[in-house]
């Protein structure tokens, strides 16, 4: 019997900033198998409290493996918002309720601002002390934007009296820390998730099959398509856009549009699939966003949990469309500017959000001018051009989202419009044929009818358990064959 190397085991179990735990890592797969075994032992209704405690502890360990000792922030947000919501339910005095919800906003947004935006605002104010700026050494905890927004939705709903506060801290800790969506969403509303917490644990064959389908789909999108085209093409273009022709830059933008969709929707799919295997239902977070025929339609399909959060808790709180058309347009732009800032402390993100905000306002204006209802969608050739223009506007905005500097963005745009060189197309395809093949597969799968995906899901559900396991193992083998030397983190971990 080989002696156990405790030092290696310790290195595996403790936090490593170079290898944060993510769904597509081998360590998570083995850990989840062990977790699932214990979870099923606790499936009986009389063990609900013990099961919730076990999952919460596992979720905190999952977050520790992603962000180290910063898991205490998760505990701070959980305890303070639980107590504040309970206090809100015990008072009928309007100003006290408003004070409590304001305190919740200050705590959550204060943490978010400190860890995410301190250096950004510090650099803006640097001219006040003769322009000297040296960034502070502040670590950005993974997923802080997600769990603070999720917890805020709970306290705001309690303040609005649309939700009764929980009486058990463990239930709330389970809701905030539930590991499938903890570090990169979706942002799950309390009113959707809380009723599921203490109901009998049931995982039907249909739920299990759908869960496996979503995990396989998400893993393929992330670990096969997104990672490969990123490492082998997209990163090279965006790191030095001036070294490449406009044609190469354009395909780099198309590649990034597919990469970020496959990366983020792949994570969401895996989160939804893992939750289904554990007996919980998450709402969809993506709905083929590049099929959109307007910017408004795009935000109904892209990162749905964030776009609806911004609509319900920011846009409506600013007045929505209740204070006149001009104010409505301003509210849209402000909402999207703040949505851009949510993604990161950079002027590039603010420009990205501002472009989308202006586009939303313009679309809203023309929709009213043409007397089109909210349900209106173009058809035929008009729909084709609407989808074509919307997709390319979104791709144009991705240039600012992906580049870290304005110089990089302007260089890329200049290369596309002044140094295109279409004669290089043959050489480009020949040199990057694997990348272009995966890009073709990715876009075809994205634009195929929804009925095809539903048929594949039903097919997975009908397969016996052994066949489902074989599909998953074959995909894992494919991932091993195409992956780079290092596991690529999810893009939205940085947000």
144 in Cβ contact with 107 (< 8 Å): no
Which sign, positive or negative, has the C-alpha torsion 201, 207, 209, 210?
Answer: negative
The residue among 77, 137, 146, 72 whose CA lies nearest residue 106 is 77
Which sign, positive or negative, has the C-alpha torsion 57, 200, 305, 169?
Answer: negative
Neighbouring CB atoms inside 10 A of 459's CB total 11
Spatial distance between the Cα atoms of 291 and 448, rounded to a whole number of angstroms: 10
492 in Cβ contact with 184 (< 8 Å): yes
Neighbouring CB atoms inside 10 A of 256's CB total 26
241 in Cβ contact with 200 (< 8 Å): no
406 in Cβ contact with 347 (< 8 Å): yes
Tell me how long the chain is: 495
The residue among 227, 307, 206, 174 whose CA lies nearest residue 24 is 227
Residue 110, sorted as left (phi over 0), alpha (psi -120 to 50) or beta, turns out to be: alpha
Residue position matching structure tokens 């390319």: 392
Spatial distance between the Cα atoms of 437 and 349, rounded to a whole number of angstroms: 30
Residue position matching structure tokens 């043409």: 370
307 in Cβ contact with 335 (< 8 Å): no
Residue 130, sorted as left (phi over 0), alpha (psi -120 to 50) or beta, turns out to be: left
Spatial distance between the Cα atoms of 51 and 54, rounded to a whole number of angstroms: 5
Instruction: Verify whether residue 372 is a known catalytic residue.
Output: no
Neighbouring CB atoms inside 10 A of 76's CB total 13
- Residue 135's contacts (CB-CB under 8 Å, 6 or more residues apart) are 119, 122, 123
In this structure, what is the dihedral angle of CA atoms 154, 156, 160, 166, given to the nearest 10 degrees?
30
Which sign, positive or negative, has the C-alpha torsion 229, 251, 438, 267?
Answer: positive
Cis omega (within 30 of 0) for bond into 269: no
- Residue 404's contacts (CB-CB under 8 Å, 6 or more residues apart) are 346, 348
Spatial distance between the Cα atoms of 365 and 483, rounded to a whole number of angstroms: 46
Catalytic residue among 130, 281, 343, 356: 343
Q: What are the residue numbers of the active site?
A: 343
């Amino acid at each position: 019997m080989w002696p156990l190397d405790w030092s290696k085991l310790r290195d595996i179990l403790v936090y490593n900033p170079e290898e944060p735990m993510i769904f597509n890592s081998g360590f998570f797969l083995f850990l989840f198998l062990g977790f699932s075994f214990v979870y099923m032992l606790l499936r009986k209704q009389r063990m609900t409290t013990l099961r919730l405690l076990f999952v919460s502890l596992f979720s905190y360990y999952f977050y520790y493996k992603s962000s180290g000792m910063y898991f205490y922030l998760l505990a701070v947000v959980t305890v303070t918002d639980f107590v504040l919501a309970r206090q809100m339910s015990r008072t009928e005095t309007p100003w006290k309720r408003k004070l409590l919800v304001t305190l919740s906003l200050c705590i959550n947004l204060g943490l978010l601002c400190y860890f995410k935006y301190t250096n950004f605002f510090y650099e803006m104010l640097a001219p006040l002390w003769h322009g000297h700026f040296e960034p502070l050494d502040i670590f950005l905890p993974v997923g802080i934007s997600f769990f603070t927004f999720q917890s805020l939705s709970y306290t705001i709903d309690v303040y609005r009296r649309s939700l009764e506060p929980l009486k058990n801290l463990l239930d709330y800790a389970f809701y905030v820390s539930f590991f499938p969506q903890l570090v990169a969403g979706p942002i799950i509303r309390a009113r959707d998730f809380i009723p599921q917490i203490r109901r009998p644990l049931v995982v039907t064959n249909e739920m299990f099959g759908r869960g496996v389908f979503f995990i396989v789909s998400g893993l393929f999108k992330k670990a096969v398509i997104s990672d490969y085209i990123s490492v082998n093409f997209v990163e090279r273009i965006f790191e030095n856009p001036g070294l490449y022709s406009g044609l190469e830059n354009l395909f780099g933008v198309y590649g990034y549009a597919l990469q970020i969709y496959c990366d983020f929707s792949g994570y969401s799919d895996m989160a939804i699939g893992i939750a289904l295997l554990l007996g919980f239902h998450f709402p969809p977070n993506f709905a083929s966003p590049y099929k959109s025929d307007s910017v408004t339609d795009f935000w109904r399909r892209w990162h749905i949990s964030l776009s609806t959060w911004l609509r319900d808790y920011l846009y409506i709180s600013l007045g929505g469309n209740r204070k006149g058309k001009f104010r409505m347009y301003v509210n849209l732009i402000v909402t999207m500017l703040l949505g851009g800032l949510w993604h990161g402390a950079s002027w590039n993100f603010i420009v990205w959000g501002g472009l989308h905000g202006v586009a939303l306002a313009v679309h809203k204006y023309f929709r009213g001018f043409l007397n089109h209802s909210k349900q209106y969608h173009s058809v035929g050739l008009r729909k084709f051009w609407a989808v074509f223009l919307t997709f390319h506007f979104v791709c144009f905005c991705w240039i600012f989202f992906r580049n870290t500097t304005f110089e990089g963005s302007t260089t890329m745009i200049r290369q596309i419009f002044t140094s295109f060189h279409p004669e290089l197309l043959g050489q480009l395809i020949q040199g990057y044929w694997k990348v272009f093949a995966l890009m073709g597969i990715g876009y075809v799968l994205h634009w195929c009818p929804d009925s095809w995906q539903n048929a594949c899901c039903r097919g997975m559900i009908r397969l016996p358990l052994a066949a489902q396991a074989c599909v998953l193992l074959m995909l894992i083998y494919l991932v091993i064959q195409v992956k780079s030397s290092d596991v690529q983190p999810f893009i939205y971990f940085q947000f």
